[in-house]
Amino acid sequence: MKCIWLGQAGFLFITHGGTTVMIDPYLSNTLEEEQGPAYHRQVPVQPEFLCTPDVLLITHSHADHMDFGTLDVLFEKVHRPLTVLAAEKAFWAMRQRYGGKAEFVLMTPGTEVTLADMHFTAVSAAHSDPSSIGFVLEADGVFIWHTGDTLFHRSLLAQRPAVVDLLILPINGKGNNMNAVDAVRLTRILQPAYVLPMHWDLFSTFGCAVQPFADLLAQDPVRVLIPAHYTEFVL
């Protein structure tokens, strides 16, 4: 499976069969325009990634995850069937805004959906949007767990799949997210092959340094991935 980090919690996944999945894309400057310079982007937008995927995943309703500045553009370009898998609050907001432009599926912890060559499972998250979820994606024999925004919570441990090839989790320690120490605790319990720290990179006021997280895992068997933004890597 090919993966591309779009910044913050946004990713694009492409299966060997060509299915494209986008999760929590923030590819605009909406937050700075609406809330001021604290939300100035540290990573510029690359417009070529403003493309409509086959499947869109939205973990929760906060504006850096359900960004209408990005989503309005994506929905304007819809020219093929689009399926949206969304947490409850985001589901209702998007269905009201975009109506019949997609097939909207309400995802709660434990919900599973198979689409084309991908299987999706919603898992719980502990965040300030109480309907927040994470996703486990399975395709090409690879299991990816994108936790969404979350604090460390024991409910996460009970939902662990048999294998986690790539764990993607927040480390910034602000806005009801795990800090680096708690993210390391979760990583060590889940024992993924690779871990990718997210949600530290886009806004300097709400970000953090990534190296302390990597240093804490330097002696662990898990490999820490810190890919360049918009650059493809393969699992």
Q: What is the DSSP track for 20-89?
A: EEEES---S-HHHHHH-GGG--SS---GGG----SEEEE--SSTTTS-HHHHHHHHHT--S--EEEE-HH
Backbone angles phi, psi at 216, to 5 degrees: -65, -25
pLDDT digits (tens, 9 = 90+) for 212-221: 999 999 999 9
Does residue 162 or residue 12 have the better pLDDT? 12
pLDDT at res. 17: 96
Question: Mean pLDDT of all residues in the chain?
Answer: 96
Q: Is the pTM of this model over 0.95?
A: yes
pLDDT at res. 198: 98
Q: What is the DSSP letter of 160?
A: -
pLDDT at res. 39: 95
What is the pLDDT averaged over residues 79-99? Answer: 94
pLDDT at 35 > cutoff 90: yes
Confidence of residue 160 (pLDDT cuts 50, 70, 90): confident
pLDDT at res. 77: 85
pLDDT at res. 31: 96
Sequence-distant (6+) residues with CB within 8 A of 32 are 39, 40, 41
pLDDT at 125 > cutoff 80: yes
pLDDT at 79 > cutoff 80: no
